[in-house]
Chains A and B, each alone.
Chain A
């Protein structure tokens, strides 16, 4: 790695930290500006109890001071504080619990999607306008346009309720099969289409024609030249997709009762559980920033023509 690349990476990491800081700041103040609070319920507590709660969690201090304390705790101790709703639990533990499941689910789904997507895309490109290409295109178009709550509900009704092959809740390993499929279908279809069009583009390039003319074998052309070069757009998509998919999908988690981070994120907002909102937002933002960075660096690995500046 040359010094130019290193400098680029350092610059990008600093920019990433800045981005996360901006996210923290905006979220913090917007969150406090929204009406309602963590201790407001259908049944009002006495003013004394309300005041005691606010003092306990430092919510009686001015927002700017709370913001300062929060930043300091994160930077110096990596301390996200206690959840205000799930009493007795720390935000970091709740996030770790949820992320474990979401990560497992997301990584498998992303892996499945990438693998099948690239293979199907390549097959479709190589058999352009043949029956198999048409079939693949019809299926992927369907999956790209079907929202996950429909696919999820269909899979659930068929495999869980009718056939009873798989459980309808994500508390066991078998229960994760359907959510993984639901999560994987859209990116798989999308990757298939990306790979196909990119591959077609590459196959029309002069260097492929040259290779063919030189008598290089078909397999070598595809795996040695065409596939590698056609994966650049797929990579662009893979990074953010991975970040998105591992940070949990509320819809899929809801439909299949999967204990992931997506449900936590949404419920923390309705509950006004301030430390939970901050914690999940920061983790989500950090992941997306990191994945983008990794993607950019991977470009260089795949295509030496790209310079990192």
Chain B
């Protein structure tokens, strides 16, 4: 009797629970095809266009704002940069001092979401603000190409700005005309104009520090308005019917759900609630590919996963009498040989499993050369393969043999065991993550196979960044994603003074190592250095690239820079990144760009 009562109680509870469920989840997105529910990541740090430095934030911003230019998809599926708020993307006019001035006219009918007109002054204000030290935005350096930026960030030894009144050379001639002057012409200027940090904001709106956290104060000028923001849970954008391009916008409402858990995202995709998810659990990729062959995507992303070596780490055998430039040349040869011991196909197919491609260069796949061809295919020294070494499975054995031959020159080799006996023990530093650990363990076993001992050390993310920047490691996991389609993104980070110079080029002992040569006379420059230091060669080369106005020469210089980098052996490319996401078959009209931004405005959802 009692048991029956208990059972009845339990049943009653279950019924109440399921009733509650019906009340909440019914309706929603499946029934209403003019809205789409997606999940990119957790709560964005900010959706202030000037402060954002994240890909998920950028995806929100391209829906909320119209900059001078935007990415668009052509009929054949390829992407191009087209005018947005500007009537056209004009050519620059070169001034006598070598600077280049662009004069843009704003198109008619552009309004802020509160009804006011968008003016050229809003652009001027937004750009000055984004580049200012007062705002101290992560992506302030994206204005580096604009005349005046160098003065803004010029600091004395105490870190105080030398020119507190410095401004960008940009001004609104009238409400419709914006004039901007670049230090010198750069080929990726139009692409920068489509970058969120270049979007306009209005002075009276952003004077409130919290303006970008609340829909009530969020004033934007794009195809969508910020309808609601339930922090850490859901951001809803609704179509702005007053936008000049509103007729092209097919999706009325976009619900961006906020979750940082890949498994949770997958559950919501599987039960049909979310139609796009931007994160996929690594250990389920194999089964997802089998289960959802038409809904799992991996598209190219311009970035490289690599291993970096501390240039100052002594890897020569104990008792080696090599010194200075000779030692550095030997170390470079050793590092390049160790790189050839790795089977990158195994790493991408068995460990990473995300459709990544084995990398044989540092400048990533997807970046284009002067003639529009792939930059990485034009690198290296052999026409038999792309990049600096052959990553194909056929070349595995010959790579291995040549690596062993090279290493034998420096280390004792036990022929019977097939192992080196006096290679110093190294430590591999990586940030805590299953994926990074698995790749580290593979490298560890590949090296152990030839008698090289490599220990593993993991650190939590912020600590790891600190250690790696300080050069307090021997080898470390690393990765780099480009901000725009130009190889310079991958090259200027390795100058001596760069904050991203994890390898420590030109620092510490390496500062005085004169092992590098640079000859630019064939390209019309006077520069010819033999046995120079890093600062005398690489740093000079990068500054030449930055001031070069001839496109072909500029690309040739960039190839030389990458040749120099790869020749040090300090960068061991592993694979080129891909962007993984799942997209429901019911969604049409979706596209994403190489920076990982996702475009939902032109989508439709089939019921």
Minimum distance in angstroms from B107 CB to a CB of chain A:
30
Stretch of A83-91, A217-225, A292-300 at the chain-chain interface: A83-91
B21 x A87 contact (CB < 8 A): no
Q: Is B549 among interface residues, defined by CB-CB distance under 8 A?
A: no
Residue of B whose beta carbon sits closest to that of A263: B232
Interface-centre pick from A44, A50, A53, A85 (highest chain B CB count, 10 A) = A44
Return the chain A residue nearest B498 by Cβ: A44
**Interchain CA distance A267-B231 in the complex, whole Å:** 14
Chain B 21-35, CB within 8 Å of chain A: the 1/0 string? 111110000000000
Please tell me which stretch of B209-217, B438-446, B592-600 contacts chain A, meaning at least 4 of its Cβ atoms lie within 8 angstroms of it.
Answer: B209-217
Chain A 40-69 interface 0/1 with B at a Cβ cutoff of 8 Å (1 = within): 111111111111110010000000000000
Known contacts A160-B267, A272-B462; is-contact A49 B24 (Cβ 8 Å): no
Query: A46 near B141 (CB under 8 angstroms)?
Result: yes
Name the interface size band of chain B.
35 or more
A141 within 8 A of partner (CB): no
Contacts of B464 in A (CB 8 A): 36
Residue of B nearest to A130 (CB): B2
Instruction: Give the docked Cα–Cα distance between A94 and B229 (Å).
Output: 13
Pairwise interchain contact A168-B267, C-beta atoms closer than 8 A:
yes
Q: Give Cα A52 to B466, complex, Å.
A: 19
Q: Closest B-chain residue to A51, C-beta based?
A: B159
Chain B 442-469, CB within 8 Å of chain A: the 1/0 string? 0000000000000000001111111101
B53 within 8 A of A: yes
> What residues on A are CB-neighbors of B460 within 8 Å?
270
Question: Does B584 sit at the interface, judged by CB under 8 A?
Answer: no
Closest to A172 in B: B24
- A208 at interface (Cβ–Cβ under 8 A)? no
Give Cα distance in the complex from A63 to B159, angstroms: 19
Shortest CB–CB separation between residue B551 and chain A, in angstroms?
Answer: 26
**Contact: A161 with B24, CB < 8 Å?**
no
Known: A132-B2, A169-B273. A259 touches B232 (CB 8 A): yes
Q: How far is the CA of A86 from the CA of B20 in the complex (A)?
A: 34
* B276 CB, nearest partner CB in chain A, Å: 14
CB of B232 within 8 A of CB of A35, answer: no
Q: Is the CB of B462 within 8 A of A97?
A: no
Contact of B155 among A40, A51, A181 (CB under 8 A): A51
Which of B42, B462, B499 is A46 in contact with, Cβ under 8 Å? B499
Evaluate whether A49 and B133 lie within 8 angstroms (CB atoms) in the complex, with A87-B46, A271-B462 already known: yes
Residues from chain A with a CB closer than 8 A to the CB of B133 are 48-49, 52
- Give 1 or 0 for each of A73-98: 1 = CB within 8 Å of chain B CB: 00000000010011111100010011
Do the beta carbons of B140 and A49 come within 8 Å of each other? yes
Give the CA-CA distance A58 to B271 in the complex, in Å.
Answer: 47
B405 surroundings in chain A (CB, below 8 A): none
8 Å CB contact of A44 from B17, B42, B500? B500
A9 interface residue per 8 A CB criterion: no
B 204-234 binary contact with A (CB < 8 Å = 1; else 0) = 0000011111000000000000000011111
Q: Decide: A160 and B271 in contact? CB cutoff 8 A.
A: yes
CB distance from B542 to the nearest CB of A (A): 15
Chain B residue with Cβ nearest A43: B500
Q: Which residues on B sit within 8 Å (CB–CB) of A165?
A: 18, 21-22
A88 contacts which of B46, B232, B500 (Cβ < 8 Å)? B46
Query: Once the chains are docked, how many angstroms separate the CA of A250 from the CA of B129?
Result: 37
Contact B48 A45 (CB under 8 A): no
Contacts of B141 in A (CB 8 A): 45-46, 49
A26 within 8 A of B: no
Contact of B134 with A52 in the complex, beta carbons under 8 Å:
yes
Contact of B25 among A45, A88, A172 (CB under 8 A): A172
- Which residues of chain A are within 8 angstroms of B2 by Cβ–Cβ distance? 123, 127, 132
Residues from chain B with Cβ under 8 Å of A138 in the complex: none
Q: Which residues of B contact A123 (CB under 8 A)?
A: 2, 6
Chain B residues within 8 Å of A, Cβ to Cβ: 2-3, 6, 17-18, 20-25, 42-43, 45-46, 48, 51, 53, 133-134, 136-138, 140-141, 152-155, 159-161, 209-213, 230-234, 257-261, 263-264, 267-268, 270-273, 460-467, 469, 479, 498-500
Chain B's closest residue to A256 (CB) is B264
A49: min CB distance to chain B, Å? 5
A257 in contact (CB, < 8 A): yes
Q: How far is B581's CA from A237's CA once the two chains are assembled, in angstroms?
A: 45
Min CB distance, A273 to chain B, in Å? 10
**In the assembled complex, A240 has its CB within 8 A of some CB on chain B:** no
Residues of B within 8 A of A264 (CB): 232
Q: How far is the CB of A217 from chain B (nearest CB, A)?
A: 18
> Is A52 within 8 A of B136, CB to CB?
yes
Given the complex of chains A and B, what is the CA–CA distance between A50 and B137 in angstroms? 9
The secondary structure that dominates the B interface is mixed
| CB-CB nearest 8 A-B residue pairs | A174-B24, A44-B499, A36-B462, A259-B232, A51-B159, A257-B259, A52-B136, A168-B267
Cβ contact of B462, chosen from A86, A173, A257, A270, cutoff 8 A = A270
A254 B261 Cβ-Cβ under 8 A? yes
Taking A43-B500, A52-B134 as known contacts, 6 extra A-B pairs with beta carbons closer than 8 A to each other, sorted by chain A number, are A35-B463, A87-B48, A167-B273, A168-B268, A254-B260, A263-B232
List residues of A (95-141) whose CB comes within 8 Å of B's CBs.
97-98, 123, 127, 131-132
Q: Does A34 contact B (CB under 8 A)?
A: yes
Contact assessment for B209 and A88 in the assembled complex, using a CB-CB cutoff below 8 Å? yes
A87 and B51 in contact, given A53-B136, A98-B232, A255-B261 (Cβ under 8 angstroms): yes
Q: Distance (Å) between the CB of B463 and the closest chain A CB?
A: 5
A-B contact list, 10 entries, CB within 8 Å: A35-B466, A48-B154, A52-B133, A52-B136, A88-B210, A156-B264, A165-B21, A171-B233, A172-B25, A259-B258
Cα(A36)–Cα(B464), bound, Å: 8
- Interface status of A241 (Cβ within 8 A of chain B): no
Residues of A contacting B154 in the complex (Cβ-Cβ under 8 angstroms): 48
Interface membership of A279, Cβ < 8 A = no
Interchain nearest-CB distance for A152 vs B (Å): 10
Complex Cα distance, B136 from A41, in Å, reads 14
Least CB distance from B309 to A in Å reads 18
Q: Which of chain B's residues have a CB closer than 8 A to the CB of A34?
A: 462-463
Docked-complex contact B136 and A257, CB < 8 angstroms: no
A259 touches B21 (CB 8 A): no
Establish whether residues A174 and B271, one from each chain, have CB atoms under 8 Å apart when the complex forms.
no
Tell me whether A200 is interfacial, beta carbon within 8 Å.
no
Expressed in whole angstroms, the minimum distance between the Cβ of A87 and any Cβ of chain B is 4
A226 to chain B: closest CB distance in Å? 18
Smallest CB separation, A271 vs chain B (Å): 7
Taking a contact as CB atoms under 8 Å apart, the answer to whether B136 and A56 are in contact is yes
Interface centre among A35, A53, A98, A272 (most CB of B within 10 A): A35
Q: Which of B152, B233, B264, B479 contacts A168 (CB 8 A)?
A: B264
Is A177's beta carbon under 8 Å from chain B?
Answer: yes
Is A164 among interface residues, defined by CB-CB distance under 8 A? yes
Please give, as numbers and ranges, the residues of chain B lying within 8 Å of A171 by CB-CB distance: 230, 233-234, 257
Q: Is B261 touching A35 in the complex (CB atoms < 8 A)?
A: no
B459 shortest CB reach to chain A, Å: 9
Q: Which residues of A contact B500 (CB under 8 A)?
A: 43-44
Q: Which of B137, B233, B257 has the largest count of A CB atoms less than 10 A from its CB?
A: B233
Contacts of B18 in A (CB 8 A): 165
Residue from B134, B271, B467 whose CB has the most chain A CB atoms within 10 Å: B271
